[in-house]
Amino acid sequence: MPSHTAPHRPITKEEPYGICFVCLGNICRSPTGEGVFIDLVKKEQVEDYFYIDSAGTAAYHTGEPANSKSQATANTYGVHLPSRARQFEAADYTSFDLVLAMDASNHSDLARLDQQNQYAHKLMMLRDFDPTPEDRNVPDPYYGGMAGFEHVFAIVRRSCETLLHQLLPHIKP
C-alpha cells in the first residue's frame, strides 16, 4: 500500500479539486498523467469534480502537443492526450490542490519555486501513489524506444488509479 495520502478537503462541483502533473518538458510524462487522469474521472463520471492540467519545469517545448510516441501509446489504451506544453509558474501553486512531480529533479525544481515554503503540503511525487514502486521516479522516456513509453504509461495509470480512489470518498455530490 502506498504510504502517502493526497491533501484532501470536501470536493464539490463548485470547488473542484485541481491536480497539475509536472515533468521536465511537458511533452511525455506529465501529458500522460493529465490524459490518464481525465480518462479515469470520465469513466467514474466525476469529471465535474476535478480540473486536471500538466506543465513542465522547463520551457523548451512551450506550445507543443504531447510527443508522438506518448500519444501513440496512450491511444492504444483509448486515452487521448490533450495537452499543449507550458512552463509551471509559482502562481500555479495557488490554483491547484496537488502538484505531482514525475521525478526527484522535477520535485526539487518545484520546491525551489515555492520560495516561502507555503505549498509543501501540495507538492508530492506521482509515485507516492504507485502501489508497486520499484523507484520513486517516473523514468524519462524521451531518448528511448517505445518500451520506455509503455513503461511510463503503466506506472502513470496504476498511480493515477490509486490517487483517484483516495479522493473519491471526499466528493460531496
Q: Which of residues 108-167 bind ligand 4NP (CB under 6 A)?
A: 140, 142
Which of 29, 97, 157, 160 is flagged as catalytic? 29
Please confirm, yes or no, whether 20 is among the known catalytic residues. Answer: no
113-117 long-range contacts (CB < 8 A, ≥24 apart) are 113/88, 113/89, 114/90, 115/90
141/11 Cα distance (integer angstroms): 34
Residue with smaller CB distance to ligand 4NP, 12 or 148: 148
Please confirm, yes or no, whether 112 is among the known catalytic residues. Answer: no
143/77 Cα distance (integer angstroms): 22
Instruction: Give the x/- contact pattern for ligand 4NP in 52-91, rule: CB under 6 A.
Output: --------x-------------------------------
Q: Coil, helix or strand for 119? A: coil
Q: 3-state DSSP: the chain helix, strand, coil percent, rounded to 5? A: 40, 15, 45
Q: Which range of residues in 25-33, 38-46, 91-99, 162-170 is near ligand 4NP by CB under 6 A?
A: 25-33
* DSSP-assigned beta bridge partners for residue 98: 19
11, 28, 100, 125: residue in contact with ligand 4NP (rule CB under 6 A): 28
Binding site for ligand 4NP (CB under 6 A): 23-29, 60, 140, 142
**Catalytic residue IDs:** 23, 29, 140
